[in-house]
Amino acid sequence: MAQLFLASRGHADLGLEALTPADVVAFVTVQCEQRSAAAYVTKGLRAFLRFCHLSGRTPRPLVGAVPRVAGWRLSKLPKAVPPDTVQALLASCDRRTTYGRRDFAVLMLLSRLGLRAGEVAGLHLDDIDWRAGELIIRGKGGKLERLPLPVDVGAAVAAWLQRGRPRCAAREVFTRVRAPHQKLSPGGIGAIVRAACVRAGVVGVHAHRLRHSVATQMLAAGAGLAEIGQVLRHDSLLTTAIYAKVDRDGLRALASPWPVGRGEAQR
């Protein structure tokens, strides 16, 4: 970004001492019209202008002249996976095989409990309380949280542990099938989802989209945002509030009627 800015000035680092805020704004405006990554432009330019001031190339700080890129929190709709697509991913696992039992268990945890890929990878053998029917989830920031273990999810995990998981020193539930029998990384969990997509002929599904699916299915079943936030273990209800956007029936009741002109009202 520094080279691009200097090139726009016509000569290497000449003329920087006469640089004005208007010059900075004009450069950002032109670049943002030509590029989609406005944040990349402004971040790089701020770093360069900060360096210029500290090194004496510009007599006054011009970082404040760089326009800020608007960041609209919760502006995007969550992209959930339709239930029939989720079923196709699950059905693509051949549970007669070791790989199939492992992959089916992973997909069940993702699609039924809404776990993150890192949480599935970090699940330990000691985290499963079979008698109580609970899981201990190692969430963000090292937090330990308990979730109920549904019967179908528990059966899938048990099938992998009893008739698939190799004997090894790893304490994680999910490991490589072939030696060396190391624990799976979050990337390995994502690879299982991608492989299921290939088998099922599905495009554009990743682990976090399955998490969105859990929330939207709960919403469709009548669950409130507070309940969804508890299952997904959100720190703030504001994070869960994004799912209100996909409740079209609820939003329809809040929508104001479209204004009708005087001429149209007489028709």
Q: Where are the domains of the chain?
A: 2-65, 84-202
Considering the candidates 68, 140, 143, 163, report the single residue annotated as catalytic.
Answer: 140
234 noted as active-site residue: yes
Do the beta carbons of residue 51 and residue 16 sit within 8 Å? no
243 noted as active-site residue: yes
Query: What's the topology of domain 84-202?
Result: hpI Integrase; Chain A (1.10.443)
Q: Kindly report, residue by residue over 172-196, the tens digit of the pLDDT.
A: 999 999 999 999 999 999 999 999 9
Considering the candidates 46, 102, 112, 211, report the single residue annotated as catalytic.
Answer: 211
pLDDT recorded at residue 11: 56
208 noted as active-site residue: yes
Residues of the chain whose pLDDT is less than 50?
250-251, 253-255, 265
Considering the candidates 234, 248, 262, 267, report the single residue annotated as catalytic.
Answer: 234
